[in-house]
Structure 1
Amino acid sequence: MSVKTLCHLFAALHFWFGCYYDWNYVKIPSDVHRMGSSFGKSGKLKFLTFWDALLQAIFFTICFVNDLIGTNEDTPKKIPLIRKLKDLILPCLAFPLSMFVGLTFWAIYFVDRELIFPRALDNFFPVWLNHVMHTNIMIFILIELFTSYRKYPSRKFGLSVLSVFMLIYLVWIHIIYAYSGMWVYPILEVLNFPLRIVFFVGLLGLSVGLYVVGEKLNAAIWNKQSHVIKKR
């Protein structure tokens, strides 16, 4: 196996294990903090962090399978389905969501961690898992962006996929609130209705901005490398 293939395998197993451990072993008593509540039996699926970790696990699994049976050529004559999936998931979801989850989590954490990851959770949610879910998601996806070529889809298509995903999650947390009477994230408890609207619009704008950043960064990296190759 090549180094890239081994890295993809490690990343996939790393995120699968993180999701498995979180789902099966992280049990926060509801009397310790209400974030441990079932929230209408939604379990870990109430958190965007868990959605994103699952997405990263699936994405890097696809990358690994593509290494084995697909192709990593810059301009292959025939693009296999597994390569098409890989090239669509990163720009549309994997990159913007990983950066969104990581940046928003740590930004709120450093301002007031009680609004996103209260201290009461420290005894139940290990530090290493916190970094798997909120730090490594950014590190691995940036490594992938810098080491593997992909052609970005049209901006209209990419932003449409991302926006639909974010809106689905937004509807989901409102469904949970309707059934449980509690917001998934403590920060939503301290915002009144107008401020929640501003907050949600701002987050949607941030996700769109991160998509564009990924698109620009990909173009800068691979156009530059293509120029160097042609010059040689």
Structure 2
Amino acid sequence: MSKTCLIFHSVVLVHHVVTIYHMNELSTSYMKFPDGRTRDMLSVGPRFFTSWNIGIQTIYFLIALLLDLTRFMKETKAIEEYKTKLTKFNGYLYNVIMFPATLLVFIAFWGMFSIKRDWVLPQQLEDACPVWLNSAIHTNIIPVLLGELLIYVGEMPRPKFKTAMIISNFFMAIYTFQYLMTYYSSGLWMYGIFYDVNWTLRGVLVLSTFVILGAFLKMGYWIQNYRNQKKFV
């Protein structure tokens, strides 16, 4: 299983690094695109929740790969302490942030895309963004998330659910703050749906992200409980 984990984490990490590189290339070259909405969206590329999520996944899989490599090292007290701390951090990162955030990105993007694509991916932006890149950041994130559950050996560290809710909400509050500050500083709504609704519905949309994130967090804890009870390791 250690070799399987090593290969899986290596492939995912390369995938994510290449993806982030091309995302950065698009964001830094936004001025060359004639369409205004495309320029606006690309100019704030790193601020999208999708970008935050792919960054979080990259951190997780980088640490997971480092932990894989420690299995091939001589066991020492220092390495054991290092592994214990990193394993706990990564378990918390996966369960509290990465799992619910990834599901939120997938459901929110494809849900809004199916209703009105201009809310998340205008045709002009799709012309600038390769199909594979869109798949990498909005679709591929799901199989790698679930794949980690399948290959992870043992019980994944996680805090009590109440603590996880506090951390998750704090994380979402930070994102929401920078999202609103982007609007107040530039007049730009990163997600097109906010142009089509009034302030009351904007407030509902913002609050709903906290509710949905909490629901996905609960779902993740239920899956982990089921996995542990069934000894699915």
Q: Same fold (TM over 0.5)?
A: yes
The offset of 1:151, in angstroms, is 3.1
1:84 aligns with 2:88: yes
Unaligned runs of 5+ in 1: 72-76
1:37 aligns with 2:43: no
3-state DSSP of counterpart to 1:183: coil
Q: In the alignment, which residue of structure 1 is the partner of 2:130? A: 126
Pick one of 218, 223, 226 that aligns with 1:220: 226
**Cα distance in structure 2, aligned partners of 1:195 and 1:60:** 37
Unaligned runs of 5+ in 2: 73-79
> Is 135-144 or 78-87 further displaced after alignment?
78-87
**Cα distance in structure 1, aligned partners of 2:145 and 2:41:** 30
The offset of 1:4, in angstroms, is 1.1
Q: Deviations over 1:57-96 (max 9, x none)?
A: 111111111112269xxxxx97611111111100011111
**Cα distance in structure 1, aligned partners of 2:158 and 2:41:** 39
TM-score by length of 2: 0.87
1:157 aligns with 2:163: yes
3-state DSSP of counterpart to 2:231: helix
Structure 1 or 2: larger helix share? 2
1:62 aligns with 2:63: yes
**Cα distance in structure 2, aligned partners of 1:52 and 1:99:** 10
The offset of 1:33, in angstroms, is 3.6
Q: In the alignment, which residue of structure 2 is the partner of 1:74? A: none
Pick one of 191, 197, 208 that aligns with 2:203: 197
TM-score by length of 1: 0.88
**AA at the equivalent of 2:97:** L
Moved over 3 A (4+): 25-31
Pick one of 205, 210, 214 that aligns with 2:216: 210
Q: In the alignment, which residue of structure 1 is the partner of 2:47? A: 46
The offset of 1:218, in angstroms, is 1.2
**Cα distance in structure 1, aligned partners of 2:187 and 2:91:** 40
**Cα distance in structure 2, aligned partners of 1:16 and 1:24:** 12
Q: Deviations over 1:135-181 (max 9, x none)?
A: 11111011112321303310111111111111111110111111111
Contact 1:70/1:83 (CA < 8 Å) preserved in 2?
A: no
Contact 1:96/1:207 (CA < 8 Å) preserved in 2?
A: yes
Contact 2:41/2:190 (CA < 8 Å) preserved in 1?
A: no
For this pair of structures, how many residues does the alignment match?
A: 220
Q: Deviations over 1:104-161 (max 9, x none)?
A: 1011111111111111112110111101100111110111123213033101111111
**Cα distance in structure 1, aligned partners of 2:61 and 2:36:** 33
**Cα distance in structure 2, aligned partners of 1:171 and 1:62:** 28
Pick one of 99, 103, 127 that aligns with 2:103: 99
